[in-house]
Structure 1
Amino acid sequence: MRQILCLSNKPWSSTPGRTQQLISRLKDTQVLYFSPAAGPMDRSFREKGRKVRPNVTAYTLPPLLLPMEERYGGLFRLGQRKLGRFIAEQAARHRFRSPLLWTSSPEHIHLLDQLDYSGLVYDCDREWEDLPPIWEGSLANAADVVFVASPLLGERLSPCSPNIALLPNGVNFPLFSGETASLRSDPLPQASGPVLGWAGTIREDVDLSPLLYAARECPHWTFLLLGRREGNRLLPRLERQPNVVLAGPCSLDQVPDWLYRCDVLLNFLRDDRQDDGVVPTRVYEYLSTGKPVVSMLWPDQVERFPDVIYGAHDQQEFVTLCRHALEEAPGFVSQRRRDYGAQAAWPNRAREVSRILSTAGLL
């Protein structure tokens, strides 16, 4: 059984992200999963590892008192040695010997010299504008395989590594396709007209101005925002709109019920993700439902799925395409959308990872 040390930039969660989805599906492996502390007072690193899957044990790393910045010199290196010792101690306790090391952030470059491993993977699913480029360049250069979530990320890292493999995001297809989900009750019984919805964390950098414009232009439509709120500047104005519903967060298994209640599903842009070209997991979830999708695009951006997604470049076009989506004939391209979702299912993505790593002699 192959051993894997996974250094993730996110904690193990009941709402799994990319790293968690991939790692947990690699067959015949034993995985130690390490994620950062929640804050300087987080003491969960003192707890025993949690058995989160039959083959996966999750640990929280010790907190660092200083930010991840090299300008702190000796204190910075001291903090990295502390993390390295913790990982090495847990690996020894589980009798790991020269495991495969899976990294998900440029920050992990500082731990390589402290760990015993036989192969290195870097999985890049975003641009890291807030970190020094040399960190990511060095990590990609050291990696035996670099997975990238978009062609643009691959193009950016190509000078650093000849071993780049495209691995787009994926989706829990059975959950969102309707194979296991059914509308148990109407989550919006008060909505009589068309419902247009978004599902996901409403981060402060999500551009919701097209939604606000559409809500004012089309008062007989209901606009749904489903998910946790993180201080987006337009939320106070949206809260005052009578046809905007801020439903808040819900458990993952309830999200399909909300999506199936919508007539059209919406995707908006994030200001800090202009150049990575990554298709969000949210879009694959939308496609899996078969519902019409309207997505905002950057001025020069080309829609990745032009045959099944309506792509708008400005607010007026957004409203126009929402109208077209509402008028779409039932079943027009619904199955084609589901086919795209099925192709992006996480088991398929994990099989591709296994194939590439096996070909490279790493699994």
Structure 2
Amino acid sequence: MKLIGKNILIISPEAWGEYFVSKHHYATELAAQGNYVYFLNPPSKGYTIESTKFDNLSILNYPGFPKGMRYYPNFLQKHFIANRYQKLEHLSCKHFDIVWSFDTSVFYDFSALPASVIKILHIVDLNQDFQTESAAKTADICLCTTELIKAKLLPFNINTHKIHHGVRLNEFGNGIDRQIKLPGNNLIKALYVGNLSMQFLDWEKLLTVIRSHANIDFLFLGPEGRSNLSTSIITSSAKDEIKSLPNTYFMPPVPADLIMYYLLAADLLLVSYKEDNYDDQASPHKIMEYLASGKPVVATWTEEYADKDLLYMSKSMEDFLKIFSWVIDNIGSASSELSAAKRKAFAADNTYTEQIRKIQELIQIRNEK
């Protein structure tokens, strides 16, 4: 099966909006390749369909399922899943060829869907763990981004495959036609990009580093508070203190196609997660965009990159501070053409175009069995 001209329903735990993560990028890339993509938002009110600025890509809204449906008898669960599915097909005026789900909390029994439909379960976050067993057992193909997630899915479905996070290089241009001037008076700029309301962020680590490096400007770019990526507001005294320091800057979020210009304007990039969440954050999506910029990345432990020599990683607060200081002291070698080329090459080998090609091959193998 070639992924061209197919009707694809993408089920996402994050809503469509201005800010993109992997689900949104897969949707736009599949649409760009000539498929008709329908991006299903998390449950809201009523059945509606919306257009987007992307050709062949529409947004579907639906009211969800009865509360506590997972406790219903199996035949009733299947009834409601089939019912909602039929209504979504009616809403879109399409019969879906592929259901591609990133969410184990809804439509988790794929056996309720027509046999002709290819059912893909794609787990990119270890904390996306609701009705995982049912979803994995009834999927035709299970995809994941880390070995940890793969180990969780394999007991339920032998047709489980790791596909690394992707990146859309064609969004970014070459950085020459649009140059960004970052705020701050210091020579070196350290930048964090991402959802600033994410509960796993380790603001304490960041505060320790910032206090120790008054000669570095620290910049934060991303949505804060409620957005299509977060429905909650996370408070942190360390974050509040960071905001009060003279060498920190919190910038308003920008659309996905502008992020690369900010990355290119920085000198080094940051990843900082709490130690309790290292497993869950074993392969954050943002790192692919970081690597595509070629800039050095100082990160907390990120298991999927342990053997790749692409990040400057640490497991403790003490080591995080030491490694950050080392990179600052050696910013020239850390930013060398050779080092930058290695990072960019890894990103180029893992574009969304390439990942979709791999997934297409897995679908073809499954269909031939």
- Common fold by TM > 0.5: yes
Change beyond 3 A, Cα 1:77–1:34: farther
2:356 pairs with 1:356: no
* Contact 1:181/1:256, CA 8 A, preserved across alignment: no
1:224 is paired with a residue of what secondary structure? strand
Change beyond 3 A, Cα 1:232–1:170: farther
* Aligned partner (choices 289, 293, 302) of residue 293 of structure 2: 289
Cα distance between partner residues in 2 of 1:89 and 1:182: 45
* Contact 2:207/2:239, CA 8 A, preserved across alignment: no
Cα distance between partner residues in 2 of 1:77 and 1:36: 23
2:192 pairs with 1:198: yes
2:314 alignment partner in structure 1: 312
1:337 alignment partner in structure 2: 343
Report the Cα offset of residue 223 of structure 1: 1.1
Change beyond 3 A, Cα 1:296–1:271: closer
Cα distance between partner residues in 1 of 2:144 and 2:166: 13
* Contact 2:99/2:120, CA 8 A, preserved across alignment: yes
Letter matched to residue 115 of structure 1: L
Report the Cα offset of residue 78 of structure 1: 7.9
> Identical aligned pairs, as a percentage?
18
* Contact 1:19/1:104, CA 8 A, preserved across alignment: yes
* Contact 2:282/2:304, CA 8 A, preserved across alignment: no
* Contact 1:98/1:117, CA 8 A, preserved across alignment: no
**Equivalent residue runs for 1:84-163 within 5 Å:** 84-92=82-90, 94=92, 96-97=94-95, 99-110=97-108, 112=110, 114-118=112-116, 119-128=118-127, 131=130, 135-163=131-159
1:324 alignment partner in structure 2: 326
Change beyond 3 A, Cα 1:53–1:246: closer
1:13 is paired with a residue of what secondary structure? coil
Most deviating of 160-169 and 92-101: 92-101
Most deviating of 11-20 and 339-348: 11-20
Report the Cα offset of residue 130 of structure 1: 5.9
Cα distance between partner residues in 2 of 1:145 and 1:350: 14
* Aligned partner (choices 250, 253, 264) of residue 257 of structure 2: 253
* Aligned partner (choices 204, 210, 213) of residue 215 of structure 1: 210
* Contact 1:206/1:232, CA 8 A, preserved across alignment: no
Change beyond 3 A, Cα 1:184–1:276: closer
Q: Deviations along 1:50-94, whole A, 9 cap, x unmatched?
A: 36643333211125674x5645x59x9989856643431331465
1:36 alignment partner in structure 2: 42
* Contact 2:146/2:162, CA 8 A, preserved across alignment: yes
Letter matched to residue 285 of structure 1: E
Q: Deviations along 1:332-359, whole A, 9 cap, x unmatched?
A: 4111111011112111111111121122
Unaligned runs of 5+ in 2: 226-233
1:19 is paired with a residue of what secondary structure? helix
2:270 is paired with a residue of what secondary structure? strand
Change beyond 3 A, Cα 1:24–1:360: farther
2:229 alignment partner in structure 1: none
Cα distance between partner residues in 1 of 2:304 and 2:355: 24
Change beyond 3 A, Cα 1:96–1:15: same
Cα distance between partner residues in 1 of 2:171 and 2:55: 22
Report the Cα offset of residue 24 of structure 1: 3.8
Cα distance between partner residues in 2 of 1:54 and 1:78: 37
Cα distance between partner residues in 2 of 1:92 and 1:253: 33
Change beyond 3 A, Cα 1:240–1:336: same
2:29 is paired with a residue of what secondary structure? coil
1:120 is paired with a residue of what secondary structure? strand
Most deviating of 100-109 and 344-353: 100-109
Q: Deviations along 1:175-200, whole A, 9 cap, x unmatched?
A: 45x52564534132x32232111011
* Contact 1:200/1:226, CA 8 A, preserved across alignment: yes
1:123 is paired with a residue of what secondary structure? strand
Most deviating of 223-232 and 153-162: 223-232
Q: Deviations along 1:128-184, whole A, 9 cap, x unmatched?
A: 3663xxx211211111110111111111211111101111111122445x5256453
Letter matched to residue 127 of structure 2: W
Change beyond 3 A, Cα 1:210–1:116: same
1:57 alignment partner in structure 2: 58
Cα distance between partner residues in 2 of 1:302 and 1:23: 24
